[in-house]
Amino acid sequence: MTVCLYERSVVNTLVDRLEAPRRFIQMLVGPRQTGKSTALRQAVKKISIPQHIALASIDSSSRDWLRAQWTQARNMISPDNPVALLIIDEVQLVDQWSAVVKELWDEDSWSGIDLRVALSGPSSLLLQKGLKEGLTGRFEIIRSTHWDYLECRSAFGYSLDDFLFFGGYPASAQLISDKSRWLDYMNDAVIEPSISRDVISLDEVRKPALMRRLFYLGAPYSGQELSYRKMLGQLDDAGNATTLAHYLELLNGAGLLCGLQKYDPKLLRQKASSPRLMVYDTSLMTAVYGLNREYLLTDPERRGHLVESAVGAYLLARSIKERFDVYWWRENNSEVDFVLHNGEAVTAIEVKSGRVKSLKGTTEFLRQYPHAKLIVVGSNDAPLEQFLLGNTSLF
């Protein structure tokens, strides 16, 4: 099945909001190559409102270009057609886009022009900054996350091992029969553009080479704790822990790699802890390892980290949509893979991934936090495949 035939739930969300009375700008954000443009195309086909669609370009798009697109959409409104729709894809490529959008949106609001607007772009820190600084109170965010196992199984017929190795980038599903081509796609169309265009070119990164090396060091360590001191030692760079923490936050904003913090109600200890690295999609991990699929899936240690990363990526995607926090926990020799926090609710998640692991960490965690719920992924109560399919309640 091709990507275009499969509709994610985000499509219906777009349709519902754009057909509703004009209230907010709809902002579709998410990591590169997760299907934002496809979702927009599928949504507009279901909407009968006259529409103007434009794709921003780093070479030709300017503030004047954005104003011209807006004017074209306005001109579609008439007594017979009192409503129109404007869609700008990759809006972050327009210089100072948020200031222009604010100006034009406010003009329409003042004049009673019913022009509904949907914008899309990567979930980079600069895009978030533009929304918060220029468009406060004027937008709603619709989040496009990496595809989960249920979506990949439904759309592409993935097995569990397919998903663990090839992950949730939809366009790459057409290349999995040619692993060399798949690897080139992941590096050339996903990883490098995400770093160079969505991070380095959009934020003040004084050491681009260090940023790249941090990702290529961190991705294979997904699922493991790595102190900033150890990272600096392996990166062999004159940077410092503050620089690495900032760069890791930028990689997090691009939907590539994050550092989970240790769960502790004392916020200062939480922020000071060494991070447990976690990719947002397992394909980012396997693409850095290379092409030896059998080794990654059969070696207990490597498969263990792959499985834990798949669980972690699934939890991160759900946390973005459902607004809960994801941590991990360790005290002395006791460790818990993931801790979810949502208001008063706390859930400890341990992953049985094939590696020999003691469950004494969960015992100690539940002793300290007796109100917490426990989920053991890979147990009879929560088999790995069923958990990744969304059949286990998290809280």
For the stretch 100-130, pLDDT in tens is: 999 999 999 999 999 999 999 887 655 666 6
> Of 88, 116, 143, at which residue does a domain stop?
143
Residue-level pLDDT at 3: 44
- The fraction of the chain above a pLDDT of 70, given in percent, is 90
Residue-level pLDDT at 355: 61
For the stretch 287-312, pLDDT in tens is: 998 767 778 888 888 899 999 999 99
Do 127 and 223 sit in the same domain of this protein?
Answer: no
> Of 143, 178, 193, at which residue does a domain stop?
143
Residue-level pLDDT at 122: 85
Do 298 and 169 sit in the same domain of this protein?
Answer: yes
For the stretch 211-232, pLDDT in tens is: 899 999 999 999 998 887 888 8
Residue-level pLDDT at 387: 97
State the amino acid at position 315 in one-letter form.
Answer: L
Residue-level pLDDT at 231: 84
Do 115 and 203 sit in the same domain of this protein?
Answer: no
Do 94 and 197 sit in the same domain of this protein?
Answer: no
Per-residue pLDDT averaged across 71-96, rounded? 93
For the stretch 141-170, pLDDT in tens is: 999 999 999 999 999 999 999 999 999 999
Integer-rounded Cα radius of gyration of the chain: 22
Beta strands across the sheet bearing 345-351 = 325-331, 334-342, 345-351, 373-377
Residue-level pLDDT at 273: 64
Write down the pTM of the prediction. 0.90
Instruction: Give residue 165's domain range.
Output: 149-388
For the stretch 307-335, pLDDT in tens is: 999 999 999 999 999 999 999 999 888 99
Give 130 or 259, the one with higher predicted confidence. Answer: 259
Do 197 and 301 sit in the same domain of this protein?
Answer: yes
Do 48 and 154 sit in the same domain of this protein?
Answer: no
Model confidence at 60, pLDDT cuts 50, 70, 90, reads: low
In this predicted structure, the answer to whether residue 268 has a pLDDT above a threshold of 50 is no
Do 164 and 310 sit in the same domain of this protein?
Answer: yes
H or E stretch at 338: strand 334-342
Do 254 and 159 sit in the same domain of this protein?
Answer: yes
**Six token digits for residue 104:** 């034009």
Do 32 and 132 sit in the same domain of this protein?
Answer: yes
> Of 93, 126, 143, at which residue does a domain stop?
143
Residue 394 lies in a domain: no
- Residue 29, φ and ψ in degrees, nearest 5: -125, 150
Of 36-45, 158-167, 356-365, minimum mean pLDDT range: 356-365
Do 196 and 223 sit in the same domain of this protein?
Answer: yes
Per-residue pLDDT averaged across 14-19, rounded? 97
Residue 275 lies in a domain: yes
Do 108 and 165 sit in the same domain of this protein?
Answer: no
Q: Considering its fold, how many domains does the chain have in total?
A: 2
Residue 395 lies in a domain: no
Residue 129 lies in a domain: yes
Residue-level pLDDT at 269: 53
**Six token digits for residue 315:** 């939890």
Residue 47's CATH number? 3.40.50.300
Do 118 and 101 sit in the same domain of this protein?
Answer: yes
Residue 285 CA to residue 363 CA, distance in Å, equals 30
In this predicted structure, the answer to whether residue 240 has a pLDDT above a threshold of 60 is yes
Distant-in-sequence, close-in-space partners of 386: CB < 8 Å, separation ≥ 6: 392
